[in-house]
Amino acid sequence: LCSSMKSPNMAFFKQQKVEDVYEIGEELGSGQFAIVKKCREKSTGMEYAAKFIKKRQSRASRRGVRREEIEREVTILQQILHANIIKLHDIYENKTDVVLILELVSGGELFDFLAQKESLSEEEATRFIKQILDGVNYLHSKKIAHFDLKPENIMLLDKNIPIPHIKLIDFGLAHKIEDGVEFKNIFGTPEFVAPEIVNYEPLGLPADMWSIGVITYILLSGASPFLGETKQETLANITAVSYEFDEEFFSNTSDLAKDFIQKLLVKDTRKRLTIQEALSHPWIT
C-alpha cells in the first residue's frame, strides 16, 4: 500500500524550492541526520527554524531517515497545538531532504540554562517541571508518547526572563500508542531511557514519565542519576534502578521533591506515576 493512500494529506510535501520562499540563515543545531537553520519567510518577514532531514536514498542505505519515519513525525506534529510544544508551520521537500518549517524557539536549551545556573531552587524547578508536565499531559491525552524527553529537547522561548516559557521539541521518536498494538523499540539517549526500553519490552506513555523523573533529578542537583562511566554501565544502573540522592547535591532538597522523583523512577510501569498523578502530586500543586 503506497503511503499516499494511507495519509492523503501527508504524502504531499511542497515540492517548490524552500529557498524561494524562505531566506535560509545561520545553523542553530544538528543531529545525526538533521540540521536546523534559522530562516525568514520572504513574504512576511517572519522568522522560523528550518529542520532539514536527510532522506534515506535506498532501502539498503543506513544513512538518512526513512520516509515513513519522517511522515510519522510530521503527522504527529500536525495533530498538536499547545503552548509548551513546538509548532509546525510548513513542509517542503527536494531530492535529498524533507524540510520542516518550525516555530523559532530562540532561548536555547534548558540544558544550557542549567549549566549557567549550576542548579535551580525547588521553586524554579517546579515552574519548569509544571510546564513540561503540561506539554506531556497534552501529548498523553492524545495517546502520543514523545520517547525522547531530555534537557536538550526542552527549549526556552526567551532565556532573559526569570521563569522562561518552555517548548518541547524533536518529535523524531514520537509514536501514537494504540490499544492492543504492541510497540517495541530500542532508541533514545541512554541516560534518560526507561528500563522497559533497555529491556526491549512493550513501550507506552509511562516511558516519558520515567524521563521526567530523570530530568527532575538533574534540574534539582545538576547531577545525572544513572550515568555510569560507560554506556553499558548506565544501562545496567537503569535496569537495576540503581541511583541515590547524594548528600552532596540533595542536602537541602525537600522530602516532597524526592518523593516525586522516587514515584517516577519506578521499574514497574503500572506503579509509576501517570501524567495526571504527577500533576496532582503535592510537590507540583
Assess if residue 144 is contained within a domain. yes
**Which pLDDT score is estimated for 11?**
57
Domain annotation covers residue 2: no
Query: Could you give the CA distance from residue 112 to residue 228 in angstroms, rounded to a whole number?
Result: 21
Residue 284 placed within a domain: no
Q: Are residues 242 and 142 in the same domain?
A: yes
The reply to whether 114 and 84 lie within a common domain is no
One domain, residues 115 and 98: no
| Last residue of one domain, picked from the residues 103, 119, 141 | 103
Q: Is 223 exposed, middle or buried (0-12, 13-18, 19+ CB in 10 A)?
A: middle
Question: Which residue type sits at 118?
Answer: E
Q: Which residues are catalytic?
A: 148
Query: Could you tell me if residue 9 is inside a domain?
Result: no
Positions of E strands within 56-146: 88-93, 97-103, 144-145
Tell me whether residue 55 is in a domain.
Answer: yes
pLDDT value of residue 1: 46
Same domain, 71 and 190: no
Contact 111, 165 (CB under 8 A): no
DSSP 182-205: ------S-GGG--HHHHTT----T
What CATH number is associated with residue 41? Answer: 3.30.200.20
**238 and 165, same domain (yes or no):** yes
Spatial CA neighbour of 188 closest among 213, 153, 136, 229: 153
Looking at the structure, tell me whether residues 199 and 230 fall in a common domain.
yes
- Residue 26 DSSP SS3: strand
Cell numbers that stand for 210 in this block: 520515567
Q: Nearest-5° angle of CA 55, CA 58, CA 64? A: 30
Check whether residue 258 and residue 119 sit in a common domain.
Answer: yes
On whether residue 10 sits in a domain, the answer given is: no
CATH code of 195's domain: 1.10.510.10
In a domain, 3, yes or no: no
User: What does the pLDDT profile of the chain (285 residues) look like in tens digits?
Assistant: 454 444 445 457 999 999 999 999 999 999 899 999 999 999 999 999 999 999 999 999 999 999 999 999 999 999 999 999 999 999 999 999 999 999 999 899 998 888 888 667 899 999 999 999 999 999 999 999 999 999 999 999 988 888 899 999 999 999 999 989 899 987 889 999 999 999 999 999 999 999 999 999 999 999 999 999 999 999 999 999 999 999 999 999 999 999 999 999 999 999 999 999 999 999 999
Asked whether residue 73 is domain-assigned, the answer is: yes
Of 76, 65, 58, nearest to 35 by C-alpha is 65
Instruction: Give the residue among 159, 146, 22, 12 at the shortest CA–CA distance from 86.
Output: 146
* 155 and 245, same domain (yes or no): yes
- Of 38, 68, 103, the residue that ends a domain is 103
Q: At what angle do helices 206-221 and 255-264 cross, to 10 degrees?
A: 150
Last residue of a domain, one of 70, 103, 136: 103
Is 55 labelled as part of a ligand binding site? yes
User: Which structural domain, as residue segments, surrounds residue 133?
Assistant: 110-279
Residues 253, 141 within the same domain:
yes
| Shared-domain flag, residues 128 and 59 | no
Answering whether pTM is above 0.85, one says: yes
How far is it between the farthest Cα atoms of the chain?
58
Whether residue 225 sits in one domain with residue 133: yes
Domains contained in the chain, number: 2
Strands of the sheet containing 47-54, edge to edge, are 22-30, 34-41, 47-54, 97-103, 88-93
Give yes or no: residues 67 and 177 share one domain. Answer: no
**Nearby residues of 14 by Cβ (< 8 Å), 6 or more positions away:** 90, 91, 92, 93
